[in-house]
C-alpha cells in the first residue's frame, strides 16, 4: 500500500531505532551511537552501529543498512505493511486504510520488487558459475574478497541475450513487467524482440532503506567490447 510520507516519517520520529533494535540485540552505548554484534551475520567483534539521531543502522562487516522499518522487515522477516502495522502499534498510531487504486499500485510495486530481487539473485549466480570463474578471479585480484563480493551481492550479466528473460518469464513475470523494471529494452528493428540493458558487465545492486533492490549499476570489464564503461538502469 502507498502510505503518505508524512505518516511513515512520524512513525520513525515516534519510535526510536535503538528501542526496537535493543529488544532484539544487546546494545552497548558508544558515544552518540550504540554498538552490537550484527544480527544479520555471525561475528565476534561488534561492527553493527545504531544512530538514533540519524535514524539509521549500519554494519561495517556485511553492509546491512537501513531505518527502523527496514530493520523490522529484515530481522523479523516481515513485509513492509506488516512492519508498518507493528511499528504504528508501538507509536500509538492507526494505519490509514488504502483505496482500491492504492492497493493495486502497491501490489504492482511489490511485484516489481520481487522481479528485481529475482534478477539480483540470477546475476549473483552467474558470477559464481564455473564458466565465469575468470571474472570472479579478476574481482579478487582487484582487492575484493569473496566475502565482500557476496556481502554486497555483486553479480555478472553475461553477453547472452535471452537467459535472464527466460528465467524471469519462467518465474511468471510478464514482458510488460520486465520492461517496466528497466532490465530490457524493446528492439526498434524487430517488433516484440527484447534485448538486455546490461551485457558483459559486473553488476552492483542498489537497495533502498528496506533492503529491497530498486536498481542496478553495471561496470564493463577490461576485456569487454562495446558500450560505455558504466551503465545504470533507471530506478
Specify the pairing of strand 184-186 against strand 155-157. Answer: unpaired
Cell numbers found for residue 213 = 533492490
Residue 2, pLDDT score: 63
Closest by Cα among 60, 112, 76 to 235: 112
Burial of residue 215 (CB within 10 Å: 0-12, 13-18, 19+) is middle
Q: Which range has the worst mean pLDDT, 66-75, 120-129, 183-192? A: 183-192
- Tell me the CATH architecture of domain 108-232: Alpha-Beta Complex (3.90)
| Mean of per-residue pLDDT scores for the chain | 88
Residue 58 predicted with pLDDT over 50: yes
Residue 42 predicted with pLDDT over 90: no
pLDDT band for 228, please (50, 70, 90 cuts). very low
Q: Which range has the worst mean pLDDT, 47-51, 52-56, 78-82? A: 78-82
pLDDT band for 190, please (50, 70, 90 cuts). confident
Tens-place pLDDT, residues 102-138: 777 777 877 899 999 999 999 999 999 999 999 999 9
Residue 226, pLDDT score: 37
- Residue 118 φ/ψ, nearest 5 degrees: -60, -45
Question: How long, in residues, is the chain?
Answer: 235
Residue 4 predicted with pLDDT over 90: no
| Average confidence (pLDDT) over 210-231 | 71
Cα 26–Cα 31–Cα 34 angle in degrees, nearest 5: 25
Q: What is the pTM of this model?
A: 0.61
pLDDT band for 222, please (50, 70, 90 cuts). confident
Distance between CA atoms of residues 232 and 235, nearest Å: 9
- Percent of the chain residues past pLDDT 70, beyond the cut: 93
Residue 232, pLDDT score: 56
Residue 97 predicted with pLDDT over 60: yes
Residue 100, pLDDT score: 78
Residue given cell 537497495 in the structure block: 207
- The segment(s) of the chain belonging to CATH 3.90.580.10 are 5-91
Instruction: Look at domain 5-91 and name its CATH class.
Output: alpha beta
| Average confidence (pLDDT) over 30-50 | 93
Q: How many CB atoms lie under 10 A from the CB of residue 142?
A: 8
- The segment(s) of the chain belonging to CATH 3.90.980.10 are 108-232
Amino acid at each position: 500500500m502507498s502510505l503518505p510520507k508524512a505518516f511513515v516519517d512520524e512513525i520513525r520520529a515516534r519510535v526510536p531505532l535503538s528501542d526496537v533494535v535493543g529488544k532484539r540485540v544487546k546494545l552497548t552505548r558508544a558515544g552518540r551511537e550504540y554498538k552490537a554484534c550484527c544480527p544479520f551475520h555471525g561475528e565476534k567483534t561488534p561492527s553493527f552501529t545504531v544512530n538514533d539521531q540519524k535514524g539509521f543502522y549500519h554494519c561495517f562487516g556485511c553492509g546491512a543498512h537501513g531505518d527502523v522499518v527496514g530493520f523490522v522487515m529484515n530481522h523479523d522477516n516481515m513485509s513492509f505493511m506488516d512492519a508498518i502495522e507493528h511499528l504504528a502499534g508501538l507509536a500509538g498510531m492507526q494505519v490509514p486504510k488504502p483505496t482500491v487504486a492504492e492497493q493495486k499500485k502497491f501490489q504492482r510495486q511489490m511485484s516489481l520488487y520481487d522481479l528485481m530481487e529475482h534478477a539480483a539473485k540470477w546475476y549473483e549466480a552467474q558470477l559464481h558459475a564455473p564458466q565465469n570463474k575468470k571474472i570472479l578471479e579478476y574481482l579478487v585480484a582487484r582487492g575484493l574478497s569473496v566475502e565482500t563480493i557476496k556481502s554486497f551481492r555483486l553479480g555478472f550479466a553475461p553477453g547472452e541475450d535471452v537467459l535472464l528473460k527466460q528465467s524471469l518469464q519462467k518465474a511468471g513475470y510478464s514482458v510488460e513487467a520486465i520492461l517496466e523494471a528497466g532490465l530490457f529494452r524493446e528492439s526498434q528493428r524487430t517488433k516484440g524482440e527484447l534485448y538486455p540493458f546490461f551485457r558483459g558487465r559486473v553488476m552492483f545492486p542498489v537497495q533502498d532503506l528496506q533492503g529491497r533492490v530498486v536498481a542496478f549499476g553495471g561496470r564493463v570489464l577490461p576485456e569487454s567490447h562495446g558500450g560505455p564503461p558504466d551503465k545504470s538502469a533507471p530506478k
